[in-house]
Structure 1
Amino acid sequence: MSYTPVIPLGGYTGWQFLQRTQSDQSAALANTPSLQRDMQYFRDNIGTVATGEGLVKDYRLLRVALTAFGLQDDLPNKAFIQRILDDGVVADDALSNRLADKRYREFSKAFGFGTDLPPLSRLPGFADRILDRFTEQSFEQAVGEVDGDMRIALNAARELPEMAASGGSESTLWFRVMGNTPLRTVMETAFGLPSSIAGLDLDRQLEFFQDRAESVLGSNSITQFSDPEAMDDLIRVFLARSQVAQFSAGTSSASIALTLLQGG
């Protein structure tokens, strides 16, 4: 990956610059020769894959597919990934349905293996949908090499609106946030909550998160993040508090979540 995103400033000012230029910068990354080769290979070959076994046997296809869902660190775990794909998502006991990390379920659902129906990988437009995600994830990774907080903010700006629109009770949505380390870090930092609250009972943790969300943002609902203004407010507070923490401690408040995102 030879393109380095431009982020001239940290904090919210840097975030605003990144938002204004994200489309152009992401396109510049997508036009690098290495990504162009990967994407063309995926377009040319994914339609021939009809099973989980077929996907994991092709290293280049698998790398693009996993990266599209933020699962690139599982590239060596071929038996595990094949099981995720072959189980599908229809059965309650399918492996991806039993994992706390719902990216695996999204991954399995996207390919549609493990059923009697034709795989989704053979449908028109499938390659473009996966490659859109691949480009997005690749850009976030590149941003993280420049500024870790910006990568986590991009991740939140992508995931929280999707989560807000996914349905489910507020408690269920909050539990999903609490179980997602990068999103949890954004919330803890923005709300001024110590990471030590993770040792409390889940219902008690939920009370803390909702109370602080109400205090800081004026609403304790996850569904508020379907509104771009509410999402921007959260990121603004997160980045401001993170900068204060960096100044005070000399380390990024998002280091743990960034390590997770980078597979470290």
Structure 2
Amino acid sequence: MSVLLLDPISWFCSTAPGLRDWSKASQRILSFLEPSEGLPKPGLIFATIITTVATFNVSYIFLRRRPPMMLLSSFIGVASTAMLFLPPAFAVDKTVDPQLVAKLKTMATMKDRLDLLSDNQLLYNFTANPMYSWKPGSVANANAATWPVLSTVRMTVAQLNLGPCAMLAPHIHRATNLVVAVSGTTNTYMVQENGARLVEQVLTPGMMTIFPRASVHSMYNTGCDNNQLYSFLDDNDPGTVNLAQSFFMMPQEIGMQVMPFINLTNGSWNSTAQSIPAIGTGSQDGFDACRRKCGLTGGNQY
């Protein structure tokens, strides 16, 4: 199903098919329990307590009160509670070797920089990137943070992995972006600026498109196989801003004035923001029609 058949506004609102994840389900089941600002949902805390009690009883009944095994329930309870208070995971690259980056930036010549590096440090393995995943997909960056060699070169290369029906949500970079398709068929969408038309492309292996600096763009794997693309950006720190998450970081008064027709989840701006799939590894599940076609169920963000 073409993305154009859907209202683009639905990309940002809780009614979008691709936004059906566990948080929305929990909000429907526990709609009478509103979370406090910055705290986990009371329903999830209750679920943690139930899980701990259930595990304790299983240990007590079936493991004959063995103290080492009885600790299992305590561990699960503590771990579950801790996870509730952890901030959501974002696809943000961490600098792997700050000291090496600093040294490379102080070197006067390219040879000086080369002398600091081993042959192995001149290789980059995308599959070793912490973001690498095919469920539902990922954006694995080789940039100044993940590959120190690029700290003095204005260049980033990203491996884009899109599992079946996976998509990259609308986003922007502070860099011009060339994207080359390696496998599969990928639909791309781009709006360069206010007043510009929507540019649609279909990338198949060997084809390339461009997303100029700061243009809004999105990609979607419409098939049931894994798609792989490579993205080349003219900055070693191009940044990524996902529009939906950024929009809901604005004050509610601004958001509701811009889009007064938003159907807030449980009447709460924060709850609506939480229903947007986490940025995770950079990719998210796509539309239900595609997922049904491919025999996929659920809508999880990995």
Shared fold (TM-score, shorter chain, > 0.5): no
Q: Which protein is bigger by CA-based radius of gyration?
A: 2
Higher strand share: 2
TM-score (norm 2): 0.28
Which structure ranks higher in relative contact order (CA pairs < 8 Å, sequence separation ≥ 6)?
A: 2
Higher helix share: 1
